[in-house]
Structure 1
Amino acid sequence: MQELIDDLPEQIAILDDGFNILAVNRAWRDVVTRHGYVNALPGYNYHTVCAQHAAAGYEPAAEAVAALDGLRSGKHSFWQLNYNGRERWDGRDFQICFHRIVRGDNNFTLVTRFDLTEINELRRLKSEFNRALEQGQASERLRLGRELHDGTSQVLTAIGLLICRLKREPLSAQTSALVEELQELLGEAHQEIRSISYLAHPPALDKLGLANAMKLLAEGFARRTGLEASFEILGEYDPVSATAKAAIYRLAQEALSNVHRHAHANRIRVQIFCRASATHFVIADDGVGIKPEALAGGCSGVGLASMRSRMAEIGARLTVRNLQPGTAIVASLPKGL
């Protein structure tokens, strides 16, 4: 047993039924010896150690004492706490776990302590990077939208005026048909640019909140594409965190863009299903559906990999469902995120 736990990087201690320390691994011994906590080594009582720190006003130690008492009484068999260190460990983040193990007539408690400081710092840096990336993407969308609206749309408008002048000239039947077709294609190009430009200029997410912003996004997108749209909230909606709000909204933008470019749909539904343990955000259409190779990850153009990655970063799950006809993109966000 000693050889087994010595090879583990986590700090581990094994306690008997009275919480006396029976054995510790190398990582535990190195840390407590280095910092002078020799009463946390074999031969000492771990409950007493925690009680001493609790008496000195250290709240995590008081919670540990209560947890050990709960293990003894059978109230629970597992307990976990994330906490901040003090004194020699000031500024570091830890997680401690108690696990009650029964072997025949003997009860043991496995104590495992993890230093989360570097992990939390990496998470913070990742969050800052994602936030900066989101802001950069939003700025680029705004720039693209402005250029399409102010530049390309004006060029198309000028082309439309020239086509109108051309229609007033004497033309053969074949030439007139070509001019009519050009005018139809020009109208489609205008509609495409209006749709892209709208997605690049979304409603004010921070001011409206996610639910209202998604409602306006769907309605505005429908007006510019000619699709029929509906929005509904089923259940009691609880606001989500700022990070989750931005990620879900960007997902809705990407899903609607994919509907416009790929689905050949007539109708879209944007729905929020509020359940006890999770909130589900749904963008559904009645189009041609997604090809099996796209669902399997073989088609990057649909952007499913990007959507899944975006949801994974906030602890949500993305599900794609075939509706026959159509497709539903479902983002499931656990309560509290």
Structure 2
Amino acid sequence: MTTALNRLPLYWQICLINGLVFLIGTIVLALSPATISTRVLVSEAIVLLVGFVLILVANALLVRSTLAPLERLTQLSERVDLQSPRERLTEDGDGTVARLVRAYNEMLDRLEAERSSSNAKALAAQEAERHRIAQELHDEVGQGLTAVLLGLKRAADRAPDDIADELRGVAEIARSSLDEVRDVARRLRPGVLDDLGLLSALAAACTDFTTHSGVHVRRGFAPSLPPLSVEKELVVYRVAQEALTNVARHARASTVTVSLSTQGDAVVLLVADDGVGMNGRSESTGIRGMRERARLVDGSLVVRGRVGGGTEVRLSVPVAAVTP
């Protein structure tokens, strides 16, 4: 009976529930010794009122139990966030509501898969564009400034003293611009990550951070780490880079701790500062970007306040199992 009822459309389920409640009420009224006078007495009115309330309550409870999954579905729709860990409804059976819940869960699965795929493509395109811009800055702008610098040096060597001093000043400006171009190119695409590996790239990032911000960095890199894929190394580096950028912009910290270690079957990056903390601020675009990068390599990112002040960014990246 219940299985057959669940297979009906939701509209007909509600109609049958209402009909069943009214039928039971009619049968009870027909079989009961209660009678109605031409002029309804107070006692009869009370009986009718009690019967009406009982029918109404029974009908409300039955309809509510039928529609309860829809209420949960509505609540999930209001709070669902595709960047958060998966949250799904559980509904067993073959009824209309159960099928609706399963269809909704499948829709969320498709949305998360498509969003993850599109973000992966976007981040890959972003890295390719960074690499192209860094290459052009190094090969074209950098070489052009180098040629200008050498030309100014030769001109200064042959020019009178008063003009030579001016040429040397211009050459110094050109040298400073060349250093800035190389620094931008290095931040866009860290060649040290490709050439020397993740630890050297993180050490260079920490050095650059201290140079530009004046904030002291305490490093704690484990001596032996399991190998990571190129994609995972790039995610670890970019998350560390973005976390340090957030510290420089918002934290007003005096010390930052950057560590990389192995915990279980994962490599864990920790960036913790002693600054003002998040102070109830919502997640910025940078944090959402870090979280999305972590998801691309099946990792997890936690951003939380520290006891005593400051913010902690913890990235956990699983290590691929080595097959014998």
The structure in which a higher percent of residues are helix is 2
Rg larger for: 2
Higher RCO (CA < 8 A, seq sep 6+): 2
Normalised by the size of structure 1, how large is the TM-score? 0.48
Normalised by the size of structure 2, how large is the TM-score? 0.50
The structure in which a higher percent of residues are strand is 1
